[in-house]
Structure 1
Amino acid sequence: MEMFSLVLVVLALSSSNGAVTCLNNEGYALLSLRQSIYEDPEGSLSNWNSSDDNPCSWNGVTCKEQRVVSVTIPKKKLYGFLPSALGSLSDLRHVNLRNNKFFGVLPVELLEVQGLQSLVLYGNSLSGSLPKEIGNLKYLQTLDLSENFFNGSLPSSIVQCKRLRTLDLSQNNFTGSLPDGFGTGLVPLEKLDLSFNKFNGTIPSDFGHLSSLQGTVDLSHNFFTGSIPASLGNLPDKVYIDLTYNNLSGPIPQNGALMNRGPTAFIGNPGLCGPPLKDPCSSDTTGASSPSSYPFLPNNNPPANSDDKEGKNQRGRGLSKGAIIAIIVSDIIGICLVGFLFSYCYSRACLCSEDKDNHGYGYEKGGKGKEECFCFRKDESETLSENVEQYDLVPLDTQVAFNLDELLKASAFVLGKSGIGIMYKVVLEDGLTLAVRRLGEGGSQRFKEFQTEVEAIGKLKHPNIVTLRAYYWSVDEKLLIYDYLSNGSLATALHGKAAMVSFTPLSWYVRLKVIKGIAKGLVYLHEFSPKKYVHGDLKPSNILLDQNMEPHISDFGLGRLANIAGGSPTMQSNRMPSDKPQEKLQKSASSEATAVYSSTSLGSYYQAPEALKVVKPSQKWDVYSFGVILLEMITGRIGTSEMDLVHWIQLCIEEKKPLLDVLDPYLAPDVDKDEEVIAVLKITMACVHSSPERRPIMRHVSDALEKLIASTDQ
């Protein structure tokens, strides 16, 4: 009787829609997935309706004989977790949910679908351990869990997946040793990537049984210990074995697939010795070939006679070192003379012009009685518009001890002009030095929007992010007040600038320090900032260096602030401060900077290729930009419209050019750091991959750099 009543209720509910629905059990299982998703910004599951008879017409669902065999919903920004009900899809063969935002654990029930052939979940935020039930999947051919947060050891049952062809567990937090029988149990494997994890223990001696492997076998950036098993030489000759950055030790076996490999496959293992490394084993009397001969790419190995006479002759061609130094010195002297002449003429003209039309601004006398710079002062007769909601300086930090009057009375020097306003160096009366950016002149009705954005930026606190201390808003002025960083931008540190009296090139040690700091700052923005921000416009000109040469990422969020403040960033790149009395900031007669990067001129060379197609920046944009910056730091070259730096380095690698032909000439004194340079170049090439999906996330890039620097300190 109770069952009969329940049926009547169901019929009554369904009759309200004008028809009786009879969605099958598989449909309800998939609806549980939809209910587990909190965000579906693209409406990918909009047609998953309970009114259908079955789910076979739903987006991403494929059926065979009215049974669900595939669920494929990649790159749709779905945010949610995977429900256990997916395990009831008994005929399921393929699951592809890559590049979404799924979190939580992998449900054990899904691994009980014994006919599953592919499980592709890379690029999500899944965590927890891989259940031992993975061994139930006797027909599994593809398991890709890369770029997640899985941890724990790899279950021994994985070797029961006898048909597995692709195993990609890279960029997770897996620990422990590889299970016994890994090589003998997974003979059909064609692709194996275990990189960027925390696997330890020895590499199984039965690895040589994996005779079907192709491409790169990547075991890099783990904690594998012990010696390299000679059985690795039994792998196919065309396989590239990447063992970099582990804790391996002992001689490198010289057999089969391990022979004739360059040092790039083994660096980062301080205990390894023998060819092709420079460190000979205790019983090894043969010389080691130079690892600096060739840039890194998988299967890019030096020819057998890399040190022959022809190679030496090639390095001996060209100008001598003395001639090169003479040319550089003469160029610098010439540039300095032109710069001084321009600066003198400009300063005299500026002073005369301002003297004839003085609007009541005070002067600051130079040390020799010369008028060195203009002050900027608040005009006492000026009244602020009643329509503006904010008139005073707003501190974003408890350590802000100055007020608006002190700021407006201070001496100001123009540091530079870009597409997002003018930057000033401001020295307060008590000696405190600040950097002040002046934005647009309009946008008086958008104060609340500006306030929300700027206060969100003010909450970002990290040693490698420039700190926004305060801001000011009025009809005529929008000011952002930052810490002043004394060593300027990375662009200037790498390449110098016009009228620079002296230029000290950055050593490799300092460049490594800067690279590491930038990576840490990006990791903070991407993963630990309140909204997991994207910078979107990273380049050397907005990476500033403090007195200790520690990098600080700047200009974060300025594009949107400039738009709110009432000016188009591209239009503002040619705008100078006007001479209206109400202006608070005046251009200094002696500017500290005569050349700055424009966001409209060089920014495009640091942007990812997909930026031309996609409007909204992604974190992988920043990864690409970071990679281009690394290329610039390694090569000393700047991308231009005639030369794509990424394409250029790819050609150099394909043509097997010597590393010395690629390296920044200023790094010649550090040529003994060739292994480290090659290691960074390897990370760089991963960052500038043309496919954003295959670029690493910044957390893993930062971890790799940490391991590199730690190994160099030993």
Structure 2
Amino acid sequence: MPSSNFTNLFILTAALLILHNPAAAVDDGSGFLGYERDALLHLKSGLNSPFLDRNWTGIMCYMDNTPYWYGIQCHKGRVTGLILDSIGLTGDVKVDALSNLTELQTLSFKNNSFTGRMMEFTLNQKLRNIDLSRNGFYGEIPPSLLNLDSLESLQIQDNRLTGLIPGFNQSGLTRFNVSNNRLSGEIPQTKTLQAVGLSSYQGNANLCGPPTPTLCRVKWQSVSEASSDQSSGGQSHGHGLFVAVLVVVDVLLVVIILLLLFTYYKKYNKLRKEMKAKAIPVKDEERNSTIMERATERRISVGEGGDLVFVESDHGTTTFDLDGLFRASAEGLGKGNFGNCYKAMMEVGPAVVVKRLRDLKPLNKDEFTRQITAIADQKHPNLLPLLAYFYSKEEKLFVYKFAANGNLFNRIHGGRGTRERIPFRWSSRLAAARGVARALNYLHGNTRSHTAVPHGNLKSTNVLIDESDEILVADYGLTSLIALRIAAQRMVAYKCPEYLSQKSVSKKSDVWSYGCLVLELLTGRVPAHSAAEGVVGVDLCGWVHRAVREEWTGEVFDEEMAVQRGANRGMLKLMQIALKCCDRSPEKRPEMGEVAAEVEEIKAGGESEEDDFSYSSYDRSVTVTDDSLSATTSV
């Protein structure tokens, strides 16, 4: 009997506790918390994240205690925040992934690689801040966002969203950004959407209407129709006359356009025939053309009085002249930040690369020659040599040695998942890091170089691999030729933290670029600051630092490289060097000579096979704060 009384007392006490605080009664398998936990686990199941697989286990959150799961915010046992920024997440997010998170106030998936359509927010009426920027979401912006009365910030820039912008008009919505998507149509004339700046809409070529300077064609058509309607109602004669005038104007415009096209075609055809008369016939015309024909197609002439000036004579380049170069068969290699590149294949002599420069400073011939001479004087086994150049008022060309094995970007990222891909192992990646370090160390130590940033545009696409697998750094010295405004928009060094905050660059900006390049080598991921158009990059410095801090360092290394036995210690050492180079403070970054020396000491293999990626073996002196290693960049 006493035992029975004790049991009844325990049940009564538990019931009173439940009535006093219902949230305390909710466990991981029932009630709201159970639904929310299931929703998060369902979200995780579609993502490729070993880190979340390990972290999102056990108790999610309890009462107002600190949540146990990474990226989760809770209040009274309910999920109020989901923040998974810059941790390399991939996969599709289901449109109903958030339906059970009814207390959610903050959602941030920025700077990952999510795909799929944006989620529906019908049941998330308490959402205040949404940040899905820098992902791969596509499709239309969901109309359910219009019903979020508490919405204060919507950041969905740098995705692949299409369609119209919904008529957002929430009074509290003060931060709004849809830039760099594929949206179209007229921007709604709501007070909320007209209050944000033009930068929130840039990168959507088909958007029109205020605040953009582009007028909407449909709007002008509707005005014409309205004018036509006003002329009706007892004035049918005036209406008919108005229509007749419009028809006549349209016909005249068509005739004028046809005449202009005919005149242009005759001139273009004549010029093309003159160029073909000077050119040697080329096989496979669908793929190749001559450099001169490509120039003609873009209505560019080489001008008068120019000549091809050779600055390097030990590569067999003197076997051709300007005429031979322009008549050579040419294959397009791609569009760079400062000019298009072509592979020129002559009947006699080596294959070379011709770079047609654009957006240069307004230099006269003497000034241009002095700058080119300074560039040509930079001679190192790991620098791509400038063989020759051409100068005229209308055209500037650089001629380089052709690197048969492409560039480092394609070696790291190209052909992933295909049978044709040759694995890029640790020893080859270390050799690439050494070659680039040697080249930069030479540029930084060359007393004849007076530029603040000896390279200025170091990225994996500007690191080439020749037929002997030697590393050749290209595009060095261009800071002396490119206008500052253009350089600040396109050059990698100008994406460094000190330029973003203080508008200053130095040799340490090159060191920062080198650190980011090495992290790209180690992780196999594209840095955000150098990602090409259409490629979603990652803030590698911040992401790798977070991995070190949270002790999942081993997962940052590219699996293709990490399988090499005995390389673990070397990979950790190289990552440590890269993170020091990426320090937010230029004064704390090492000199390039110190960096090159440390990289030379790293062994390609042969270390103990029991090396691991344990956090305890990592030098914590470089793991200060996220801010010390990462910078907010815009691509």
After TM superposition, the score normalised by the length of structure 2 is: 0.46
Structure whose residues are more often helix by fraction: 2
TM-score normalised by length of structure 1: 0.41
